[in-house]
Chains A and B, each alone.
Chain A
Amino acid sequence: MASAAARWNHVWVGTETGILKGVNLQRKQAANFTAGGQPRREESVSALCWGAGGETEILVGCADRTVKHFSTEDGIFQGLRHCPGGEGTFRGLAQADGTIITCVDSGILRVWHDNDKDVSSDPLLEVRVGPGVCRMRQDPAHPHVVATGGKENALKMWDLQGSEEPVFRAKNVRNDWLDLRVPIWDQDIQFLPGSQKLVTCTGYHQVRVYDPASPQRRPVLETTYGEYPLTAMTLTPGGNSVIVGNTHGQLAEIDLRQGRLLGCLKGLAGSVRGLQCHPSKPLLASCGLDRVLRIHRIQNPRGLEHKVYLKSQLNCLLLSDRDNWEDEPQEPQEANKVPLEDTETDELWASLEAAAKRKLSDLEQTQGALQTRRRKKKRPGSTSP
């Protein structure tokens, strides 16, 4: 059943219609999960994050200001929590030590107690971040440190256990060559591992690195890419570069040591809404308004691995961090090592709600195997070689 297989999904995607989709790339299946059985546009997913306890739970932030708990083990929505206050959708969702941190568009950042029994309780902490927030990101190394940024809302780093004032408040760059003020529009923020630095990408197609440890409040490094607003960003496994996506569906890898463009990834046709890299493997998951989830390989060689058509517009995604991408043998009746013939997968398709998918190459069989350079497109209806 879909619920039993839910734990083996590699990517979880939230859509505009309120459906949470779990995609298993090994078996090439996508399953829909909704809280109420029917999709509802009021529940469109605006933020996703892993819950406490590894990857067994997902916190789903919806447009009607509720945070739902979804269990990947059982494949059902377990709890619901209203997080009122402020206006707009969730721009950031994080969890730390049994609390949920939410930030909305109008700049109200609240920390809530995360328990199912007490549905309507007051927030533990409330911070006003400033209007027009576009992203709130939690530092993976320090769960009580968050950073916020937005349109005409400069980057600020907050310590939720510390004072009410931000720990680091970024300063705008100098006036440009016409002596005009450079506008601010921070669209996405990432914390660089190993140091205190932060990277942001802006709606004015700039990528900036800030260092709170240095006395300079202005960005330490600034580069530009393209001509369109950058909407999403993720760090690569090496830690030296970021991958950014813009509203035209262009993905680019930018080296942060020199501020150079390393290369581009092609395939997306619509605005990039969610990007995430795997922590150890050179894989990048991207989703956007063109309703397709794509997995790219970032190095040797750079290219598209999987492409999944999911019928609704995709808002955000979560890529599973686990190293073992094959299904563990749990139930005896399920075939585990999937030979990639259509006949074998047909049996599994019959028992699951599956969306149409197209496989491009069969690389995920063994992890350390050398990848072939030549890829052949698998036409639908043809048997695999």
Chain B
Amino acid sequence: MAKSGDKSSSSGKKSLKRKAAAEELQEAAFAGDGATESEGQPPKAAAFPPGFSISEIKNKQRRHLMFTRWKQQQRKEKLAAKKKLKKEREALGDKAPPKPVPKTIDNQRVYDETTVDPNDEEVAYDEATDEFASYFNKQTSPKILITTSDRPHGRTVRLCEQLSTVIPNSHVYYRRGLALKKIIPQCITRDFTDLIVINEDRKTPNGLILSHLPNGPTAHFKMSSVRLRKEIKRRGKDPTEHIPEIILNNFTTRLGHSIGRMFASLFPHNPQFIGRQVATFHNQRDYIFFRFHRYIFRSEKKVGIQELGPRFTLKLRSLQKGTFDSKYGEYEWVHKPREMDTSRRKFHL
């Protein structure tokens, strides 16, 4: 044993492995790990007695070596299998079976029964007469008030300023410790249609309350991954005053529709295509990603985009019917983690 130990220290890795393998075999045989014919087995690395796994080797270095060898073996086999499959596909040509689609969580999403069918009349009527009807009938145009929680720090203040350049017809006001329930009636008399409050915690913005004003729903979001303009790499120049276009992606369920409409009602109806600016709200797995880009068509099919403004991620916490009243308001939807997050494949937006 000592002799082989010396040899292992002086020789290369491969011989060390082989010696280690032989030793493992003998040790396993001595230990009696379910080995029946240890002497009869050829001293090869692959032929281990059944019931023995690499994790049972007590020595860490040897265990690690055995594992790395096993891993390399697996990789080789996988590569060989892939090559074989590719050859078979080429050989078959057109008759090859279609490639299997990999399973992703989005693919495996549990079908939500509240998914809106575009032909559904009842839902169409519900949406046509809800609180956003006056916006979608072009009777009102948006006027937004952006504010923060009390005594905001630099990041939040800058985020508000940048948001006000992204959203046209928006005004930023400093929240001088005023109660939202007192701000809201004043906003209504001054014809504001929406109120955005960015909540801040420990000098970073972490929440967003979006309240549609005359008597509309209030959505409360968690905000994360906030990147201000200067933190965005390879960005374009500052956005212009043109009204951007809006993209709302993947808001399929009834709740998703309500939230999507809420976002849409923040922006005026008539996007100025001359400005080539677009704001995107992309929903994936219940997280809403906000991005602001400038695009340019280099040819019929090729587009170049530059990311401009701030970017952040939102997750809906609750949707409350009526303007902001967290204690006594009625909630249309509340996120309950222990009840709703039990399945990794079920999403609500």
* A and B: bona fide binding partners: yes
Q: Do residues B122 and A270 form an inter-chain contact, with CB atoms below 8 A?
A: no
In the complex, chain B residues whose CB is within 8 Å of the CB of A267: 339
Q: A32 interface residue, CB < 8 Å from B?
A: yes
Which residues 300-349 of B sit at the A interface, judged by CB distance below 8 A? 321, 327-334, 336, 339-340
Interchain CA distance A41-B127 in the complex, whole Å: 11
Q: For residues 63 through 81 of chain A, which have their beta carbon under 8 Å from a beta carbon of chain B?
A: none
Report if A39-B111 is in contact (Cβ < 8 Å); known contacts: A271-B332, A290-B332: no
- Binary contact readout A217-251 vs B (1 if CB under 8 angstroms, 0 otherwise): 00000000001110100000000000000011100
Interface residue A49 (Cβ < 8 Å from any Cβ of B): no
Q: Are A17 and B330 in contact (CB under 8 A)?
A: no
Q: For residue B113, which residue of chain A has the nearest CB?
A: A309
A19 lies within 8 A of chain B by Cβ: yes
CA distance A19 to B129 in the complex (A): 14
Are A270 and B254 interface neighbours, CB within 8 A? no
Query: Is B39's CB within 8 Å of the partner chain A?
Result: no
What CA separation (Å) do A161 and B254 show in the bound complex? 48
Q: When the two chains form the complex, which single residue of A39, A266, A271, A290 contacts B122, counting CB atoms closer than 8 Å?
A: A39
Q: Could you tell me if A311 and B331 are in contact, using CB atoms closer than 8 angstroms? A: no
Query: Is A173 on the interface with B (CB-CB < 8 A)?
Result: no
Q: Once the chains bind, are B330 and A247 in contact (CB under 8 Å)? A: yes
Cβ–Cβ contact B113 & A311, under 8 A: no
> Do the beta carbons of B340 and A271 come within 8 Å of each other?
no
Interface of chain B: mostly helix, strand, loop or mixed: mixed
Closest partner residue, chain B, to A247 (CB atom) = B330
User: Is A290 within 8 A of B327, CB to CB?
Assistant: no
Shortest B123–chain A CB gap in Å is: 5
CB–CB A290/B328 < 8 A: no
User: A206 to chain B: which residues have CB within 8 Å?
Assistant: none
Bound-state CA distance A311–B340 (Å) is: 20
Are B329 and A247 in contact (CB-based, < 8 A)? yes
A80 CA to B175 CA, complexed, in Å: 52
Question: Does A380 have its Cβ within 8 Å of any Cβ on chain B?
Answer: yes
The answer to whether A278 has its CB under 8 Å from any CB of chain B is no
**Are B331 and A271 closer than 8 Å at their CB atoms?**
yes
Asked whether A17 lies within 8 Å of B336 as measured between CB atoms, the reply is no
Tell me if B125 counts as interface (CB < 8 A to partner A).
Answer: yes
- Would you call B126 an interface residue if the criterion is a C-beta within 8 Å of the partner chain's C-beta atoms? yes
CB–CB A41/B330 < 8 A:
no
Contacts of A311 in B (CB 8 A): 120, 122-123, 126, 254
Interface size on B, residues (CB 8 A): 23
| Cβ contact of B328, chosen from A19, A203, A249, cutoff 8 A | A203
Residue contact B122 to A291, C-beta cutoff 8 Å: no
Q: In the complex, which of the residues B125, B328, B331 has the most CB atoms of chain A within 10 Å of its own CB atom?
A: B331
Distance in angstroms between the alpha carbons of A269 and B327 in the assembled complex: 16
Q: Does the CB pair A228–B122 fall under 8 Å? A: no
Q: Does B26 contact A (CB under 8 A)?
A: no
Residues of chain A within 8 A of B330, CB atoms compared: 231, 247, 270-271, 289
A262 beta carbon closer than 8 Å to chain B? no
In the complex the two chains form, is A289's CB within 8 Å of B122's CB?
Answer: no
Q: Which of B113, B125, B334 contacts A270 (CB 8 A)?
A: B334
Cα–Cα distance between A311 and B115 once the two chains are bound (Å): 10
Of residues 110 to 142 in B, which have CB atoms within 8 Å of A's CB atoms?
Answer: 110-111, 113-114, 120, 122-123, 125-126, 129
A270 x B339 contact (CB < 8 A): no
Are the CB atoms of A248 and B331 closer together than 8 Å?
yes
* Cβ of B338 to closest chain A Cβ, rounded Å: 8
> Given B113, B129, B331, which contacts A249 in the complex, CB threshold below 8 Å?
B331
Taking the complex as formed, is A10 at the interface, i.e. its CB lies under 8 A from any CB of chain B? Answer: no
- Known: A17-B129, A311-B254. Is A289-B331 also a contact (CB below 8 A)? yes
**Which residue of chain B has the shortest Cβ distance to A310 in the bound complex?**
B122
CA distance A380 to B114 in the complex (A): 13
Are A229 and B328 also in contact (CB < 8 A) when A17-B126, A291-B254 are?
yes
- State whether A356 touches B122 (Cβ < 8 A): no
How far is A291 from B254 in the complex, measured between Cα atoms in Å?
A: 9
Tell whether, in the assembled complex, residue A41 and residue B114 are in contact, meaning their CB atoms are under 8 Å apart: no
Chain B 131-165 residues near chain A, CB threshold 8 A: none
Query: Smallest CB–CB gap between B253 and chain A, Å?
Result: 10
Which residue from A32, A228, A313 sits with its C-beta under 8 Å from B327?
A: A228
Q: A249-B334, A269-B334 are in contact. Are A19 and B113 (CB under 8 A)?
A: no
Chain A 259-288 residues near chain B, CB threshold 8 A:
266-267, 269-271
Interface assignment of A297: CB less than 8 Å from any CB of chain B: no
A38, A269, A357: most-surrounded residue (chain B CB, <10 A) = A269
| Nearest-Cβ distance from residue B16 to partner chain A, whole angstroms | 53
Contact, CB under 8 Å: A17 / B122: yes
- In the complex, which residue of chain A has the Cβ closest to the Cβ of B335? A269
Q: Does A169 contact B (CB under 8 A)?
A: no
Q: Decide if A197 is an interface residue (CB 8 Å cutoff).
A: no
Cα separation A17 to B114 with both chains bound (whole Å): 17
Say yes or no: is A144 at the interface (Cβ < 8 Å to chain B).
no
Taking a contact as CB atoms under 8 Å apart, the answer to whether A270 and B332 are in contact is yes
Residues from chain B with a CB closer than 8 A to the CB of A231 are 330
Residues of A within 8 A of B113 (CB): 309, 356-358, 380
* CA distance in complex: A228, B326 (Å): 9
Residue of B whose beta carbon sits closest to that of A272: B330
A345 within 8 A of B: no
Q: Which 5 A-B pairs have the closest CB atoms?
A: A271-B330, A289-B332, A41-B129, A309-B113, A311-B122
Chain A positions within 8 Å of B, measured between CB atoms, are 17, 19, 32, 38-39, 41, 203, 227-229, 231, 247-249, 266-267, 269-271, 289-291, 309, 311-313, 356-358, 379-380
- Apart from A41-B129, A269-B333, what 7 extra A-B contacts exist at CB < 8 Å? A17-B122, A248-B334, A267-B339, A269-B334, A271-B321, A289-B330, A311-B254
Could you give 5 example pairs across A and B, Cβ below 8 Å? A247-B328, A289-B321, A291-B254, A309-B114, A357-B113
